[in-house]
């Protein structure tokens, strides 16, 4: 069995890599009156506009409604991925790490900690939507998207359980490392994220999970 300390450190490395890649908070948290409308029966272009505004608002309830409204539509994979990502709790957890608000010495079970802070259902949705974006609209993906997407794919592979993650293949096509490799291929070589994607790939292929 892998050393639990290594697994915990690996989880933290993933989050810190997101920080190093330049992930920043870009959302405001002012509820907007238009978000009180139900987007379910709107035309697609209006659903998209509603969902984009919901994402920009930072309102979790509105984002969940928006995700439900667009998740089965074509051509909205990237928007869906970003909605699911925000709803997953991954960015919020990262910001807690950045602010130094987490007392790691008080964490007795990393799985419980992740379960309390990350919504595994939306992580899974985000992972699928990032894969769909890679297939259908790869030019929309930024370096930060590849890192965040890989984090969701990696988390989803283990079902939120580090012991399970230690047993599954996280390298090769269809895995977190496969997604990372596509990012390395698709991004400009001078994109700062490429260095961090290579570091993350090495972390995975060295078998630290």
pTM over the 0.85 mark? no
Gap between the Cα atoms of 205 and 182, Å rounded? 15
Does residue 39 belong to any structural domain of this protein? no
The answer for 169, left when phi > 0, alpha when psi is -120 to 50, beta otherwise, is beta
The pLDDT tens digits of the residues spanning 73-129 come to 999 999 999 999 999 998 787 778 767 788 877 888 877 888 888 999 999 999 999
Does residue 44 belong to any structural domain of this protein? no
Does residue 185 belong to any structural domain of this protein? yes
Domain of 155, in residue numbers = 4-24+85-205
Based on its alpha-carbon atoms, the radius of gyration of the chain, rounded to whole angstroms, reads 17
User: In which band, very low, low, confident or very high, does the pLDDT at 30 lie, cut at 50, 70 and 90?
Assistant: very low
Which residues, 6+ apart, have CB-to-CB distance to 78 below 8 Å?
Answer: 129, 133, 137, 140, 141
Does residue 104 belong to any structural domain of this protein? yes
Does residue 56 belong to any structural domain of this protein? no
The pLDDT tens digits of the residues spanning 123-176 come to 999 999 999 999 999 999 999 999 999 989 988 988 766 667 666 778 888 999
Does residue 150 belong to any structural domain of this protein? yes
Does residue 167 belong to any structural domain of this protein? yes
Tokens of 51: 């969902």
Looking at the structure of the chain, the number of domains it has is 1
Q: Which value, to the nearest 10 degrees, does the dihedral of the CA atoms of residues 86, 88, 90, 92 take? A: 60
């Amino acid at each position: 069995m892998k050393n639990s300390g290594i697994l915990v450190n690996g989880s933290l490395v993933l989050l810190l890599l997101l920080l190093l890649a330049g992930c920043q908070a870009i959302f405001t948290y002012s509820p907007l009156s238009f978000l009180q409308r139900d987007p379910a029966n709107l035309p697609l272009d209006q659903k998209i506009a509603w969902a984009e505004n919901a994402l920009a608002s930072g309102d979790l309830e509105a984002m969940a409604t928006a995700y439900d409204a667009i998740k089965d539509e074509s051509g909205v994979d990237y928007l869906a991925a970003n909605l699911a990502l925000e709803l997953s709790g991954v960015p919020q957890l990262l910001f807690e790490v950045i602010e130094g608000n987490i007392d790691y010495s008080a964490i007795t079970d990393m799985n419980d900690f992740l379960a309390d802070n990350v919504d595994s259902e939306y992580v899974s949705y985000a992972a699928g939507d990032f894969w769909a974006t890679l297939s259908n609209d790869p030019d929309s993906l930024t370096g930060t998207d590849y890192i965040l997407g890989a984090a969701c794919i990696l988390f989803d592979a283990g079902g939120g359980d580090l012991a399970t993650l230690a047993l599954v293949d996280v390298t090769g096509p269809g895995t977190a490392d496969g997604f990372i490799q596509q990012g390395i291929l698709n991004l400009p070589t001078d994109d700062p994220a490429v260095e961090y994607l290579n570091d993350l790939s090495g972390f995975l292929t060295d078998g630290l999970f």
